[in-house]
Amino acid sequence: MQYYISTDKPFPLFCYNDFMEQKVYVFDPTVKDSQSQMRGIGRYLQTLKENFSQEELVFTADVKSIPRQSVLINPFLNLLQPLPFFSRLAQTQIGVIHDLIPLKYPRHFPIGLLASIKLFFRRLTLRHYDLFVTDSQASKNDLIKILRIPEKKIQVIYPAFSQRFLPHLTYPPDENSRLMFQKTADSQEHPQYSPFASEQFVDNPQIKSLTNFVLYVGDGSWNKNLPTLARALKIANVPVVLVGKVFENAEPHKLTHPWQKDLQLFFKEIQGDAKFTLLGYVTDVELKYLYKTARINLLVSRDEGFGYSFVEAGMCSTPSVLADIPVFREIGQEGALYAKPEDPLDIAKKIVELYFNPQNRELYSVRAFERAQDFSPKAFRESWLKTIKTLV
């Protein structure tokens, strides 16, 4: 079956209402907290909203409006942050835990005595959930080991790229253009496409002036490994663009929180180096343009729950250098070049292999695009529908 979709309408997999006797609600904190729209929860909620109609999922920030006879999805169950509710609200509850990195590495994410006490009581609320969804098998293993959640109560649903990152075709697809996006010679399916080129909507002169750069998209927490990445980039001697709200105010002396220690070291490492361009927050349209323009996408984290930038860059046919850690081997498979995360020389070598070698870059561009298609909105929607169906 071929599918070419450039609208926000969900995929017609099967009749949702045929099995759904209860309404499904999604707690949406971004309604009242605009800052959360820029974090991972905003991206995840955006993907849910793109792939489900309002009749299928009801998004609400008002927990009092959720009826008892319903299904409730909490898309960002973070035990280190205030919980929206402590008791069971709906007959069936699903909690999404994206990763447990702060709990997995307490020495690098100290929380203090009061937060430890709060964490104890918040962990007790897990008994009110019938199922937990997480982003990768690696994260599932952490949920079992750290939170002692039974394996049968955990479902892996890989996040999807947003429809805003669909590949662009200049012309309506014909037999020749379809071959451009065909995964294998025997494949009968093609990815979705967008009729709009992102460069048509980018008017930021600073962004449009950037050339021959490598790209980092993310935040500055310890697991992102930014000081090591900075040293590797200096060895490779290539220009880099960094995107993320944490890069808007590069003032190390203001970073006093223990969780910001690595970010402080990073800013000191790059101080005065013209090869580092800190863009801060950019729109999705600008981000897509940056992915398409970049020679390489970089993500050499010490640990992650998933790795959005690999998938988003892959949909723009941009190859990635990833850290050689289990979660990235799971997500990237053969679609990326891998480097030892604690070895700046090895990271630099892998950057150079792609940056200065057009043949290598083309090979991994194709591999990244093929692998990124596996995290399609269609697969994401279908996995969620099947998961809900098993509980209702």
Lowest mean pLDDT among 83-92, 231-240, 343-352: 83-92
Question: How confident is the model at residue 5, as a pLDDT?
Answer: 32
pLDDT for 14 beyond 90: no
pLDDT top residue among 251 and 377: 377
Q: What is the mean pLDDT of residues 338-363?
A: 97
Mean pLDDT on 24-51? 76
> 344: closest CA among 217, 214, 215, 237?
237
Residue 196 in this model has a pLDDT that exceeds 60: no
pTM, full prediction: 0.86
**pLDDT of res. 41:** 65
Q: Residue 89 in contact with residue 65, Cβ under 8 Å?
A: no
Alpha carbons 72 and 64: distance in angstroms, whole number: 12
Q: Can you tell me the distance from the alpha carbon of 322 to that of 332, in angstroms, rounded to the nearest whole number?
A: 8
Q: Is the pLDDT of residue 185 over 50?
A: no
130: nearest Cα among 153, 155, 96? 153
| Whether the predicted pLDDT of 17 surpasses 80 | no
Work out the percent of the chain whose per-residue pLDDT is above 90: 72
Round to whole Å and give the CA distance between 56 and 228.
45
Q: Which domains does the chain show, CATH number per domain?
A: 16-160+377-391 (3.40.50), 175-187+195-374 (3.40.50.2000)
237-248: burial string, b at 16+ Cβ within 10 Å, e else:
ebbbbbbbebbe
Token pair for 146: 């750290």
Q: What is the mean pLDDT of residues 195-201?
A: 59
pLDDT tens-place string over residues 269-300: 999 999 999 998 998 889 999 999 999 999 99
Query: What type of residue is 319?
Result: P
- Of the two residues 252 and 323, the one the predictor is more confident about is 323
Please give the structure tokens belonging to residue 334: 């053969």
Which pLDDT score is estimated for 203? Answer: 82
**What confidence score (pLDDT) does residue 392 get?**
78
| Per-residue pLDDT at 193 exceeds 70 | no
Q: What is the pLDDT of residue 6?
A: 34
pLDDT number for residue 7: 35
Confidence band for 38, pLDDT divided at 50, 70 and 90: very low
pLDDT for the residue numbered 162: 86
Between CA 220 and CA 316, with CA 161 as vertex, the angle to 5 degrees is: 85
Is 136:306 a contact under the CB 8 Å cutoff? yes
Query: CA 211, CA 213: separation in Å to the nearest integer?
Result: 6
Cα-atom radius of gyration of the chain, to the nearest Å? Answer: 21
- pLDDT > 50? residue 383: yes
What's the pLDDT at 391?
87
Q: Are 4 and 190 in contact (CB under 8 A)?
A: yes
Mean pLDDT of all residues belonging to the chain:
87
| Residue 194 banded pLDDT, cuts 50, 70, 90 | low
Q: What is the mean pLDDT of residues 376-389?
A: 94
Q: What number of CA atoms fall less than 13 Å from residue 131's CA on the CB side?
A: 21
Return phi, psi of residue 390, to 5°: -65, -20
* pLDDT tens profile 47-97: 999 999 989 999 999 999 999 999 999 999 999 999 988 899 999 999 999
Q: Are 198 and 288 in contact (CB under 8 A)?
A: yes
